[in-house]
């Protein structure tokens, strides 16, 4: 009896990619010898005609392709989670819709799975997509250094997991967090398979600056105390500076122009730190409150 391989693909603003991506994948399913393959595409409330194209593709490949549409945009993490929830495979792979990650690499990943690896990660060693994306590099390295040392310094969103990992992953309810960090948090050993990220042939990425900032906040607020500790250290520095200024005041006199200017600077720093600390506390409180509502991660409007 063949093993079943489920391929999960989140879809958002991929109307132009889908007519290329879906046939590309279907023409290469022969590579998965010994596996019965299903492809699950989850439309994450995309404002373009992505789901209409997905329905057309469904008619062309009814036995392999499963499609889902959310009622609205719930985020890539929710779309990935939905695909994993619906997957029936013994092993599950996740890949983006833009084909920047080499689909053929799934074959090598499955070989590692067959050797006993519960989690196989595609590790980006080079980017050929026309941009160095310094912000992303700095972000992933920061996550690696300050949140989870097991997190690859280049990040990852292309991976394969066993059914055991998938079932444990479903137990995690962290709507504001990261799918990747949640998988690593489970503690399973993983194998890295290096690859070069390719140029995006069609369309533009929806991963804009605001989404990156929100993702960064979710990463740190959910999986690390570094944000609160950062303000603790900043407060200690201001306190030490205030003590030094007090000593200088006694030596130079309170009427000294230098001392007066330093007091004004210290006051502004203190006020700024206070506002940031209150905002950070509000962010943590909001995230805790949102999770306490126990709302579903996503709502499915339609599936075929």
- Residue 12 pLDDT more than 80? yes
Between 212 and 117, the more confident residue is 117
Predicted pLDDT at 23: 94
- Residue 205 pLDDT more than 60? no
Correct CATH for 3-206 of 1.10.10.10, 3.90.550.10, 1.10.3470.10, 3.30.70.260: 3.90.550.10
186's tokens: 């489970």
- Kindly state the helix (H) or strand (E) to which residue 211 belongs, with its residue range: helix 209-223
Predicted pLDDT at 1: 43
Task: Calculate mean pLDDT across residues 128-156.
Answer: 71
- Residue 165 pLDDT more than 50? yes
* 68-125 pLDDT per residue, tens: 999 999 888 899 999 999 999 999 999 998 888 899 999 999 999 999 999 999 988 7
Domain extents in the chain? 3-206, 225-292
- Kindly state the helix (H) or strand (E) to which residue 192 belongs, with its residue range: strand 190-197
Say which residue the tokens 């079943």 belong to: 4
Predicted pLDDT at 258: 65
Task: Calculate mean pLDDT across residues 6-23.
Answer: 93
d(CA 121, CA 108): 11
Q: How many CA atoms lie within 13 A of 159 on its CB side?
A: 25
Say which residue the tokens 């579903």 belong to: 296
Name the average pLDDT for the chain.
82
d(CA 294, CA 292): 5
For the chain, what percent of residues have pLDDT higher than 90? 41
């Amino acid at each position: 009896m063949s093993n079943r391989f489920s391929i999960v693909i989140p879809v958002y603003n991929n109307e132009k990619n889908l007519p290329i991506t879906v046939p590309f994948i279907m023409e290469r399913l022969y590579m998965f010898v010994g596996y019965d393959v299903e492809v699950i595409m989850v439309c994450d409330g995309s404002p373009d005609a992505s789901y209409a194209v997905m329905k057309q593709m469904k008619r062309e490949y009814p036995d392999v392709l499963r499609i889902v549409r959310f009622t609205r945009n719930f985020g890539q993490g929710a779309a990935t989670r939905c695909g994993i929830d619906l997957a029936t495979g013994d092993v599950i792979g996740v890949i983006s819709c833009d084909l920047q990650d080499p689909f053929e690499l799934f074959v090598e990943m499955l070989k590692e799975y067959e050797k006993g690896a519960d989690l196989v990660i595609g590790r980006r060693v080079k980017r050929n997509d026309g941009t160095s994306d310094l912000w992303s590099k700095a972000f992933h390295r920061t996550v690696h250094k300050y949140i989870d040392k097991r997190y690859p310094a280049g990040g990852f969103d292309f991976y394969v997991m066993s059914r055991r990992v998938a079932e444990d992953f479903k137990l995690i309810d962290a709507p504001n967090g990261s799918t990747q960090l949640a998988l690593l948090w489970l503690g399973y050993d993983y194998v890295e398979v290096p690859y070069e990220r390719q140029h995006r042939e069609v369309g533009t990425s929806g991963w804009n600056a605001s989404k990156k900032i929100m993702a960064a906040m979710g990463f740190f607020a959910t999986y690390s105390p570094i944000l609160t500790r950062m303000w603790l250290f900043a407060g200690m520095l201001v306190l030490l500076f205030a003590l030094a200024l007090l000593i200088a005041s006694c030596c130079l006199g309170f009427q000294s122009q230098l001392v007066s200017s330093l007091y004004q600077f210290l006051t502004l720093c203190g006020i700024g730190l206070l506002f940031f600390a209150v905002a950070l506390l509000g962010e943590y409180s909001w995230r805790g409150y949102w999770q306490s509502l126990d709302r579903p991660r996503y709502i499915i409007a339609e599936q075929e």
